[in-house]
Amino acid sequence: MQIRVNFPIGLKIKKKGKERMLSCQWSSFSRVCYSSPFSLQQFNIKALNLNRHYCLTKSSMEDSSSQVSPSPFQFLTKKPYEPPQWASHLSPLPSHTFSLGHFPTPIHKWNLPNLPKDTEVWLKRDDISGMQLSGNKVRKLEFLLGDAVAQGADCIVTIGGIQSNHCRATAVAAKYLNLDCYLILRTSKLLVDKDPGLIGNLLVERLVGAHIDLVSKEEYAKVGSEALTKLLKEELLNEGRKPYVIPVGGSNSLGTWGYIEAIRE
């Protein structure tokens, strides 16, 4: 049985008393799509502190009666981390995290028509984990940026596509923690030497003061993301900075702890 879901959430299927998780895309529900002839100074950066909430009609969704009760949310709080017992043998073991997202996110039942008998669809709503940090990206960043601060970093380096949701979330989270952010963004060869503008995620990244370097898709494929971030890291070290490199998508062993927490929820 295959079920395709156009939501940025986890999908849980219940059938005949059994539960299993289906893989699906965990990413932001929507991205900002906006261009403007106005200068950046005319935008109110405080607006980024607003949280987006999505209204669900009772006919389409209902809350899960078994979801975890949310604890009071304390934004940007540094807190010690205690892993679940079943994951305590994994390495590296994080010592602490920063509260960047609104967790736990709720689980909603989705009343789809024409489902097979005894089948239910439940949605893990990571699209409401925040606004500019929405989706799964913030789960990884809570651990990655916690490690960056612990190592005394003063700036963050990461890489991705020209409209990378990970890069947008990293730029905003770094700003919250008073860290400079350097983004290497992959684009077409024709646009490498041009101003990338204020389209989509670029608007948010430039509002929070991220440093943007463009690289062509051809160079990206030839050199590789690890080599490109290493080159930028060396440049920053030579300038006396203390950079912390986050790989594409924040996908490494430390970032994986964000998903371990999602499972615990």
Active-site annotation holder among 27, 28, 129, 164: 164
Active site annotation includes 216: no
Buried b (16+ CB within 10 A) or exposed e, 92-120: eebebbbbbbbbbbbbbbbeeeeeeeeee
Give the active site residues.
164
